[in-house]
Chain A
């Protein structure tokens, strides 16, 4: 029903390596990366990444888009909080997409942002599966 986060390796607490599976039309919110490094590689399909500026302290207007690009199979991308925020989406209505993500240090919560107002909301991130086993929550 929505994209899944599947943990592959937790690197002795130093990093999280996970595979994200995106169905047709699935997309993420605009989010930050809790002071961590984030690498992303497209394993299958294409994902559109839209970069946003951080909103003003008292966010009160439409968030500013910095740039957008479509990442193709085998392409890599990197982001951290000093670069900005992003939204990742599978904009295909016919193909699913798969991406590999490396986060260091690992984090289990981040802020999501309302594009219309810049308001942020802290959310806990969950896994659909870990090490091949379905995670129930």
Chain B
């Protein structure tokens, strides 16, 4: 009745009835904090455990999961979720409804995309995505302000960005928005549809101090990649307001990553500009 930690890894659990149906009921439902079912044969997250409201740590690493049930959001107290080494192909947006999630491991799966809603996991500090099938990351991922660690190796990711997004001019909406902002064209909320008013309010100033431009879909963020030893910061992306901003903008991040900027200089200038235009499509 006061069971706190249950470790049942490396067994042959996975068939129907592997876990007792009443697992989620009181008192176990409220006392269990840590559950480790890694190295078993579960083909789906056993529904019985979704009632464990007090569960803080769940590991289902090294099983045979093909997906994550949306009802995972029922595990309201979850802080640590390890799902590495399965066959998961996609992530339900409901995963983002876990308010206390700090540590999310999804490495060694078959994930093709990350839902943008994942950016709502404000408490997320570590995200492991290495060895998946990701070709891009959602732009919103930069909203994870508390993210300290992110592993992305072994995804067909970075090179794809650079090649496909070389020539991606701003949309007409963006160009119009930039003109309105830089020329101070007056407008009132009653003049425009609500969505455009909101869009215009999202304008940001180009970090390049020599450039007075604004942009709408951009950011300069630095997130640590755990693939590197020690403390190491690598810009996740650069986003510029115009091609003319390429070199000065790189100096904006030079304060924290001097070495990576010298790498950019070593590259052919065209490739350097491409890297700086990495978009999260």
Q: Of B88-96, B123-131, B179-187, which binds chain A?
A: B123-131
CA of A48 to CA of B21 in the docked complex: distance in angstroms?
A: 39
- Shortest Cβ distance from B52 into chain A, in angstroms? 20
- Shortest Cβ distance from A98 into chain B, in angstroms? 17
CA of A28 to CA of B158 in the docked complex: distance in angstroms?
A: 19
Task: Report if A94-B228 is in contact (Cβ < 8 Å); known contacts: A25-B84, A25-B85, A25-B108.
Answer: no
A82 located at the interface, meaning its Cβ lies under 8 Å from any Cβ of chain B in the complex = no
Contact (Cβ within 8 A) B231 A93:
no
Question: Which of A29, A58, A91, A92 interacts with B228 by CB under 8 Å?
Answer: A29
CA of A110 to CA of B9 in the docked complex: distance in angstroms?
A: 37
Among B10, B85, B148, the most chain A Cβ lie within 10 Å of the Cβ of: B85
| Total count of chain A residues near the partner, CB < 8 A | 32
B259 located at the interface, meaning its Cβ lies under 8 Å from any Cβ of chain A in the complex = yes
**A100-137 interface (Cβ within 8 A of B):** 109-110, 112, 114-117, 119-126, 137
CA of A85 to CA of B57 in the docked complex: distance in angstroms?
A: 36
Contact (Cβ within 8 A) B103 A1:
yes
B142 located at the interface, meaning its Cβ lies under 8 Å from any Cβ of chain A in the complex = no
Contact (Cβ within 8 A) A123 B229:
yes
CA of A116 to CA of B227 in the docked complex: distance in angstroms?
A: 13
B189 located at the interface, meaning its Cβ lies under 8 Å from any Cβ of chain A in the complex = no
B98 located at the interface, meaning its Cβ lies under 8 Å from any Cβ of chain A in the complex = no
A2 located at the interface, meaning its Cβ lies under 8 Å from any Cβ of chain B in the complex = yes
Which residue of chain B has the shortest Cβ distance to A29 in the bound complex?
B228
Among A93, A125, A137, the most chain B Cβ lie within 10 Å of the Cβ of: A93
Task: Report if A121-B263 is in contact (Cβ < 8 Å); known contacts: A29-B227, A93-B62.
Answer: yes
- Shortest Cβ distance from B253 into chain A, in angstroms? 13
- Shortest Cβ distance from B267 into chain A, in angstroms? 8
| Total count of chain B residues near the partner, CB < 8 A | 39
Determine the chain A residues whose CB is within 8 A of the CB of B59 once the complex forms. 24
B246 located at the interface, meaning its Cβ lies under 8 Å from any Cβ of chain A in the complex = no
- Shortest Cβ distance from A92 into chain B, in angstroms? 8
CA of A92 to CA of B128 in the docked complex: distance in angstroms?
A: 14
CA of A117 to CA of B232 in the docked complex: distance in angstroms?
A: 18
Contact (Cβ within 8 A) A93 B153:
no
Task: Report if A126-B231 is in contact (Cβ < 8 Å); known contacts: A24-B38, A93-B84.
Answer: yes
A27 located at the interface, meaning its Cβ lies under 8 Å from any Cβ of chain B in the complex = yes
Task: Report if A1-B10 is in contact (Cβ < 8 Å); known contacts: A25-B108, A93-B39, A112-B229.
Answer: no
CA of A93 to CA of B257 in the docked complex: distance in angstroms?
A: 32
Residues 1-32 of chain A: 1 if any B CB is under 8 Å from the residue's CB, otherwise 0? 11001000000000000000000111111010
Which residue of chain B has the shortest Cβ distance to A114 in the bound complex?
B158
Question: Which of B38, B82, B108, B228 interacts with A112 by CB under 8 Å?
Answer: B228
Question: Which of B85, B230, B259, B263 interacts with A125 by CB under 8 Å?
Answer: B230
B19 located at the interface, meaning its Cβ lies under 8 Å from any Cβ of chain A in the complex = no
CA of A103 to CA of B263 in the docked complex: distance in angstroms?
A: 27
CA of A77 to CA of B257 in the docked complex: distance in angstroms?
A: 32
Task: Report if A29-B229 is in contact (Cβ < 8 Å); known contacts: A93-B38, A94-B10.
Answer: yes
Could you jot down 7 A-B contacts, CB within 8 Å?
Answer: A1-B103, A93-B85, A119-B263, A119-B267, A122-B259, A123-B259, A124-B230
Query: B-side interface residues toward A, CB under 8 Å?
Result: 9-10, 38-39, 59, 61-62, 82, 84-85, 103, 105, 107-108, 125-126, 128, 130, 148-149, 151, 153, 158-159, 225-232, 234, 257, 259-260, 263, 266-267
